């Protein structure tokens, strides 16, 4: 282990060089590349499922009219804010708890395996004391059904050449069951809260009771809220499965720090939707289309973030700093490439595909204004998400929470000032600043070689 530390220190003397390390191998399907792919692709599909569902709703409802489309946009913003407050801490904490219990279970099984191997070796030595064992003696070589042997998962020799492997036993992970129960309960609470409080929540978002958006927004929010228990339950299961891979994440990340972070991260987007709603149905309808595309495509990078978190958590626990450096370099470089590809696809595709969401000329005009912001910010968004995963993998939860809180405070100020001065365009400028600050905050640890990344300066 010490050799790995030394080699890493020789390779990386300047923390900034981590972003260019082995850049020619960015698409190489070596062991690291394959592992990232195995984790990132399924995770990305799972994470983008809900934004894509919202995007489909936006496309269908957009053909009814801009008022209905605007109403759906406000409702989705409220639903997403409530969901993410519950989802993000639940998934992250579940991942950590399941990982810890799984690691303990594996350690206990390894201990039992060692005991069984010692017993088997003793049996072998005793069995071969005679050259030709009799029938009664050969029976003694068969495995016995005592408690120690029944839980042993190592190979057992039953005759001179016959090997029998016991079937893998079921594991009991208490935190997995608890997470599923908590997810279901939180989902029910969320559904009741949103259904009962739809009217005041939408009023807080800027949709007044007399507004033409009020009735359709309330109806959509209440119907969407019925699916909250299923959404939270499925994401709790996602946290369980992540935990079985990410077996080294420490448990000092409390739900409180994660809760602070997720509220800070989502509040800016929710506030932006609220400010757009106050501008009117046409502006809100256009903002809704652009925002859902912006979120759905950017969240593809979260797959890379999940892969980075899982691999880095294990590498940091083993103090394999060389693997830490290689993993961080690879996922960050892939994040930049993904962002550039998305920028190109959206920059060209949205000019021709906007009519999928609406045929209203005024809404289409505003969507055209938003397209450059949606496309140009993709590399920034991807880096911001990947940096989150990298810092989580390094167990830098406190820094992630406090830096996000700082970013949110500045971003809220920009949103309020720019939206009041420049309206629709001002909101998008402020969101661009928000994601840029978020990416810069993520860069802060690795780029300066501080916190868990101080080994880069050693």
State yes or no: pLDDT of 154 exceeds 90.
no
Give this prediction's pTM: 0.67
H/E element, 458: none
Measure the CA–CA gap between 214 and 193, rounded to whole angstroms.
18
What confidence score (pLDDT) does residue 137 get? 43
Looking at residue 177, its pLDDT comes to: 62
Tens digits of residue pLDDT in 181-201:
777 777 788 888 888 888 888
Distance CA 350, CA 342 (A): 11
143 DSSP 8-state letter: P
At residue 159, does pLDDT exceed 50?
no
Distance CA 76, CA 371 (A): 20
Contacts of 114 (CB under 8 A, 6+ apart): none
* pLDDT value, residue 432: 95
Does the pLDDT at position 276 exceed 60?
Answer: yes
- For 273, how many CA atoms within 13 A lie in the half-sphere containing its CB? 31
Euclidean distance between CA atoms 61 and 68, whole angstroms: 7
Cα dihedral sign, 24-29-35-40: positive
pLDDT per residue as tens digits for the range 349-406 = 988 888 888 888 999 999 999 999 999 999 999 999 999 888 888 878 888 889 999 9
Q: Is the pLDDT of residue 433 over 90?
A: yes
Region label for 249, one of left (φ > 0), alpha (ψ between -120 and 50) or beta (otherwise): beta
Instruction: Work out the end-to-end distance of the chain between its first and last CA atoms, rounded to an integer number of angstroms.
Output: 16
Size of the chain, expressed as the number of residues it contains: 458
Q: Which residues contact 455 (CB under 8 A, 6 or more apart)?
A: 5, 8, 9, 321, 324
Contact 98, 244 (CB under 8 A): yes
* pLDDT at 242 (0 to 100): 53
Q: Is the pLDDT of residue 93 over 60?
A: no
Statement: residue 240 has pLDDT above 80 = no
pLDDT at 251: 34
CB 286 within 8 A of CB 366: yes
Confidence category of residue 110, pLDDT binned at 50, 70, 90: low
Q: Is pLDDT at 306 greater than 50 in this prediction?
A: yes
pLDDT for residue 18: 79
User: pLDDT tens across 309-363, in order?
Assistant: 878 877 887 788 888 999 999 999 999 999 999 999 999 998 888 888 888 899 9
The pLDDT value recorded for residue 302 is: 83
Contact 361, 47 (CB under 8 A): no
Over the chain, what is the mean pLDDT? 75
Determine the average pLDDT of the residues in 291-308. Answer: 84
For residue 92, the number of C-alpha atoms closer than 13 Å in the C-beta half-sphere is: 28
- pLDDT value, residue 310: 79
Q: Which of 23-27, 92-96, 435-439 has the weakest average pLDDT?
A: 92-96
Give the position of tokens 């830096």: 403
Q: What angle do CA 171, 174, 178 make, to 5 degrees?
A: 135
């Amino acid at each position: 282990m010490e050799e790995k530390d030394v080699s890493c220190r020789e390779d990386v003397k300047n923390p900034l060089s981590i972003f260019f390390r082995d850049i020619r191998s960015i698409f190489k399907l070596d062991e690291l590349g394959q592992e990232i792919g195995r984790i990132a692709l399924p995770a990305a599909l799972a994470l983008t499922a809900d934004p894509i569902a919202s995007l489909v709703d936006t496309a269908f409802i957009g053909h009814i009219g801009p008022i209905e489309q605007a109403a759906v946009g406000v409702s989705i913003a409220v639903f997403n804010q409530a969901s993410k407050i519950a989802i993000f801490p639940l998934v992250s904490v579940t991942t950590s708890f399941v990982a810890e219990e799984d690691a303990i279970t594996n350690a206990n099984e390894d201990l039992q395996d060692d005991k069984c191997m010692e017993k088997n070796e003793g049996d072998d030595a005793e069995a071969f004391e005679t050259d030709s064992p009799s029938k009664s003696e050969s029976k003694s070589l068969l495995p016995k059904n005592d408690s120690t042997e029944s839980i042993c998962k190592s190979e057992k020799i039953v005759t001179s050449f016959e090997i029998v492997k016991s079937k893998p036993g079921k594991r009991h992970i208490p935190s997995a069951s608890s997470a599923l129960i908590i997810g279901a309960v939180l989902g029910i609470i969320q559904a009741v809260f949103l259904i009962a409080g739809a009217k005041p929540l939408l009023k807080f978002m800027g949709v007044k009771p007399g507004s033409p958006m009020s009735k359709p927004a309330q109806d959509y929010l209440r119907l969407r809220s019925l699916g909250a228990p299923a959404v939270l339950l499925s994401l709790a299961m996602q946290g369980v499965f992540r935990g079985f891979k990410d077996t080294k994440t420490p448990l000092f990340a409390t739900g409180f720090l994660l809760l602070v972070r997720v509220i800070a991260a989502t509040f800016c987007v929710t506030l932006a939707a609220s400010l757009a709603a106050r501008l009117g149905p046409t502006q809100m309808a256009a903002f809704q289309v652009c925002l859902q595309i912006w979120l759905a495509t950017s969240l593809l990078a979260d797959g890379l973030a999940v892969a980075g978190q899982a691999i880095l958590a294990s590498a940091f626990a083993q103090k394999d700093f060389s693997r830490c450096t290689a993993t961080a370099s690879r996922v960050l470089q892939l994040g930049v490439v993904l962002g550039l590809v998305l920028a190109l696809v959206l920059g060209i595709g949205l000019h021709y595909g906007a009519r999928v969401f609406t045929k209203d000329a005024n809404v289409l005009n505003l969507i055209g204004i938003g397209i450059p912001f949606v496309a140009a910010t993709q590399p920034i968004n991807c880096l911001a998400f990947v940096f989150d995963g990298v810092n989580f993998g390094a167990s830098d939860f406190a820094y992630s929470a406090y830096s996000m809180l700082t970013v949110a405070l500045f971003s809220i100020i920009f949103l309020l000032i720019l939206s009041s001065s420049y309206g629709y365009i001002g909101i998008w400028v402020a969101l661009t600043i928000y994601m840029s600050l978020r990416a810069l905050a993520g860069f802060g640890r690795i780029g300066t070689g501080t916190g868990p990344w101080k080994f880069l300066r050693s």
